[in-house]
């Protein structure tokens, strides 16, 4: 199966700072998605982004499918952004929802 | 509208007991997925339903794990003769197309 590598594993920010999270895939992926898992365990779908760039408020994401990576940008971070960020995708030929997740980036935003 | 609902939120079982975990997907979502998340790890795929048909169960770790969705809506994940290594958070997701929407999960602790 595909391997998903996320970096950095941990990130500590002061409120108001910007950050970039990266996700590398070992092979071509379909159905690439970014999720935020809040401190209560809820996984929130941030983006479905198999290619290109999308923006949603202070968050944006870019996927370069030909180079097998995706980036998540967080601008003007807030304490509520804290939690774990996961990227996930599925390999071609598998069920579209059979996602392989990375290990996550743990983000802590201090006031 | 309501999101994906899972119950119970927490379950403590003695080793050897059978457990049943329930998932109520978002109304109208055809696809339903179960994932297992160990502490500090990303979720791992267990099984996938399209309506009442179980199309992929390749992630179920043993024949003690069984999932059903008899009427194409509510799904139940059953674990027979629970073992300590079954302790994890069990996440359910539903999807209308490509994006997955997760519930809050059931945290299972096997003592």
Domains, chain B, ordered by start: 5-97 (2.60.40.10)
| A39 contact B CB<8A | no
User: Distance (Å) from the C-alpha of residue A53 to the closest C-alpha of chain B?
Assistant: 16
Q: Do B91 and A48 touch (CB under 8 A)?
A: no
pLDDT along chain A (111 residues), means of 10: 94 97 92 93 94 97 95 97 95 83 97 95
Closest-CA distance of chain A to residue B55, Å: 8
Is the peptide bond between A61 and the residue preceding it cis, with omega within 30 degrees of 0?
no
CA nearest to A21, candidates A56, A66, A67, A73 = A73
B101-111 pLDDT tens trace? 999 999 999 99
Contact of A84 with A21, CB cutoff 8 Å: no
Q: A39 or B34: which carries more pLDDT confidence?
A: B34
Number of separate domains in chain A:
1
How many whole angstroms separate alpha carbon B52 and alpha carbon B31?
9
Q: How many CB atoms lie within 10 A of CB A60?
A: 17
pLDDT of residue B97: 86
Provide the CATH number for the domain around residue A106.
2.60.40.10
Tell me the residue range of the domain where A102 lies: 4-110
State how far the Cα of B32 lies from the Cα of B19, in Å rounded to an integer.
20
Residues of B in contact with A104 (CB under 8 A): 42
């Amino acid at each position: 199966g595909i391997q998903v590598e996320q970096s950095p594993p941990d990130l500590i920010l002061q409120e108001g700072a910007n950050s970039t999270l990266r996700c590398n895939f070992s092979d071509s992926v379909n159905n690439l998605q970014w999720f935020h898992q809040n401190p209560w365990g809820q996984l929130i779908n941030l983006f479905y982004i198999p290619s290109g760039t999308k923006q949603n408020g202070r968050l944006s994401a870019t996927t370069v499918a030909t180079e097998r990576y995706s980036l998540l940008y967080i601008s003007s971070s807030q304490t509520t952004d804290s939690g774990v960020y996961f990227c996930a995708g599925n390999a071609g030929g598998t069920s579209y929802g059979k996602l392989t997740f990375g290990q996550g980036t743990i983000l802590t935003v201090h006031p | 509208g309501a999101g994906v609902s899972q119950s119970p939120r927490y379950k403590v079982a003695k080793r050897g007991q059978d457990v049943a975990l329930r998932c109520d997907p978002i109304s109208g979502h055809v696809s339903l997925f179960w994932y297992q998340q160990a502490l500090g790890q990303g979720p791992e795929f267990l099984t996938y339903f399209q309506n009442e048909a179980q199309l992929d169960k390749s992630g179920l770790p043993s024949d003690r794990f069984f999932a059903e969705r008899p009427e194409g809506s509510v799904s139940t994940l059953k674990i027979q003769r629970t073992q300590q290594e079954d302790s994890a958070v069990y996440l359910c997701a539903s999807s209308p197309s490509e994006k997955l929407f997760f519930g809050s999960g059931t945290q299972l602790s096997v003592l």
